[in-house]
Amino acid sequence: MGGGMTMQKPKKSGARKGADVPAGGNGAPVATAVAVPAAGRGTLTVADVTPPSQTPSNTAVLRRHNLWLQSLHQLDETARAIKLDSNTHELLRHCKRTLEVAVPVRLDSGKVEVFTGYRVHHNQFRGPAKGGIRYHHEVSMEEVKALAMLMTWKCALMNIPYGGAKGGVVVDPKRLSEREIEALTRRFTSEIMIIIGPDKDIPAPDMGTDPQIMAWIYDTYNMTTGHAVPQVVTGKPVSLGGSLGRVEATGRGVSYVIAAVSKEMGLNLKGLRVAIQGSGNVGSNAAKALHEMGARVIAMTDVAGGIYSEGGIDPFKVFAEVGPKGTITGLAGYKPISNTELLALDCDILVPAALGGVITDKNANAVRAKIVVEGANGPTTPEADDILKSKGIVVVPDILANAGGVTVSYFEWVQGIQYYFWELEEINSRLHKIMTKAFNSLWALSRRERITLRDAAMRIALQRVAEASRTLGLFP
């Protein structure tokens, strides 16, 4: 496993305020890497890391703390359910390509610090690899591999022509100045340039990264190739060939999915009581879109805590007041609420839109929402998923709920290739069409087969990837 950064004191001035400082809050398990080499195999399985003497409960513990093992387990279960042939199944249990890089950065103090970065391609059967870049101090190779696999399923589910990728740097960006973040981004881009490219692998923003960081990735790529390549990265500022609506797309997609699931469940969107964990890109934009649709956002949090108002929060007012990088915690005029309280709040819809692994077997019993819509990637552990299911709570899985971002990233890529840009109305209407179509297909499958929406989503996605695999055949 890669090394981490040397923790530094927060900068007194010039430090970026945008990124978060999560530390396994809200009962979120801190990812524990299981660094046990599996002889002759490229991936770890529960069997690989579990000596025969260990009990099944220990196996469950291992899986709970390792997103990669969870992802393999989910793949295995779905493969069994759709009777996937064993060759394709084995192929998909491996990431196509993993890259770990050292990223030396000269800090403002003059000291050189070496960060660890990763870029992973899980699969490219359906098209170039696509996935975000995360700056977070808990990033690990195991996490990046799991998130890359998740991207394979997400792109297949949305039926957009991409495989799955992910990247990340082990860094708490809040501790670096703007100049240091730029240097880190440019050096990281240069280190992963051997595997990214407009028809190979197209990065995008994720936790801790934003359009400015995408602009630096774009510029570094252009400077190296000697010409502008707008299709190499999505989530760029509009002034550099970014797409209208991309910044809001993931949150907007969450709202479209909430509208669709509410309709199916006979809930009126007007006045629907929604609680949102996370006030970053996804959380804030979901809140705004839901507010516009007439839903009532009654609570929101960020890493430090949050605000509650039974009468409803106006997110436009809140985010205008705190600014895009400020904290909502302690805002005057609202009751304070903790992240633990938010997850257990009496509401119609709960949207975890911050970290992975926040709804666990420790707190799932306390969830009182009728529907959980996963704005974040992997916010519900498998054990928590079972508990929510037994309580009759409907969970709209991440690979659908937060797919608005990758869908508009796809639009940005297409626009970049054509050098022809669409109006916002066209983007939102195409996004709505794709999200609603995907929701309807997995809703129908879940009703027909009496399975959860997550299982239905996984079956549709895996069947599409498997079909591509069969058609391609095996090289050479």
Known catalytic residues are 166
76-84 LR contacts (CB < 8 Å, sep 24+): 77/455, 77/458, 78/455, 78/458, 78/459, 78/462, 79/462, 81/455, 81/459, 82/459, 82/462, 82/463, 82/466, 84/462, 84/466
| Residue 339 makes contact with ligand NAD by CB under 6 A | yes
x/- site string to ligand NAD, residues 64 to 93, per CB under 6 A? Answer: ------------------------------
CB atoms within 10 A of CB 120: 28
Give the nearest distance from C-beta 319 to ligand NAD in angstroms.
Answer: 11
In three-state secondary structure terms, 138 is coil
* Choices 110-118, 119-127, 266-274, 349-357; region in contact with ligand NAD by CB under 6 A: 349-357
Binding part of the chain for ligand NAD, among 89-97, 178-186, 212-220, 371-379 by CB under 6 A, reads 371-379
* Stretch (H or E) spanning 85: none
- Comparing CA positions, the residue from 377, 444, 382 lying closest to residue 406 is 377
Whose Cβ is closer to ligand NAD: residue 353's or residue 468's?
353
When binding is defined by CB under 6 A, the residue of 78, 140, 189, 279 that contacts ligand NAD is: 279
Count of CA atoms in the C-beta half-sphere (13 A) of 284? 19
| By CB under 6 A, residue 248 contacts ligand NAD | no
Question: In the set 128, 168, 278, 357, which binds ligand NAD (CB under 6 A)?
Answer: 278
Verify binding: residue 281, ligand NAD, rule CB under 6 A: yes
Q: Find the binding residues for ligand NAD in span 161-180 (CB under 6 A).
A: none
244 binds ligand NAD (CB under 6 A): no
Choose which of 34, 313, 355, 462 interacts with ligand NAD (CB under 6 A).
355
Is residue 309 within 8 Å of residue 341, measured between CB atoms?
no
Choose among 413, 422, 366, 13: nearest CA to 201.
413
Residues 26-65 binding ligand NAD (CB under 6 A) are: 26, 28
Query: Is residue 116 within the footprint of ligand NAD (CB under 6 A)?
Result: no
CA distance 118 to 100: 5
Q: Which of 301, 329, 415, 452 binds ligand NAD (CB under 6 A)?
A: 301
Residue nearest to ligand NAD (CB): 280
Among 167, 208, 230, 416, binds ligand NAD (CB under 6 A): 208
Which residues within the stretch 10-29 sit at the binding site for ligand NAD (CB under 6 A)?
19-20, 22, 25-26, 28
Identify residues 377-396 at the interface with ligand NAD (CB under 6 A): 377
Instruction: Identify whether the C-beta of residue 171 lies closer than 8 Å to the C-beta of residue 115.
Output: yes
In terms of CB distance, is 46 or 251 closer to ligand NAD? 251
Q: How far apart are CA 387 and CA 265, in angstroms?
A: 20
Q: Which residue in the set 168, 203, 205, 416 belongs to the binding site for ligand NAD (CB under 6 A)?
A: 205
DSSP notation for 248-282: HHHHHHHHHHHHHHHHHTT--STT-EEEEE--SHH
Helix extents (H) in 294-423: 315-322, 339-343, 382-390, 398-401, 404-418
What CA–CA distance (Å, rounded) separates 301 from 327? 9
Residues 6+ apart with CB under 8 A from 317: none
Q: What residues numbered 405-424 form the site for ligand NAD, per CB under 6 A?
A: 405
Contact residues for ligand NAD (CB under 6 A)? 19-20, 22, 25-26, 28, 205-208, 250, 277-283, 301-303, 339, 353-356, 375-377, 402, 405
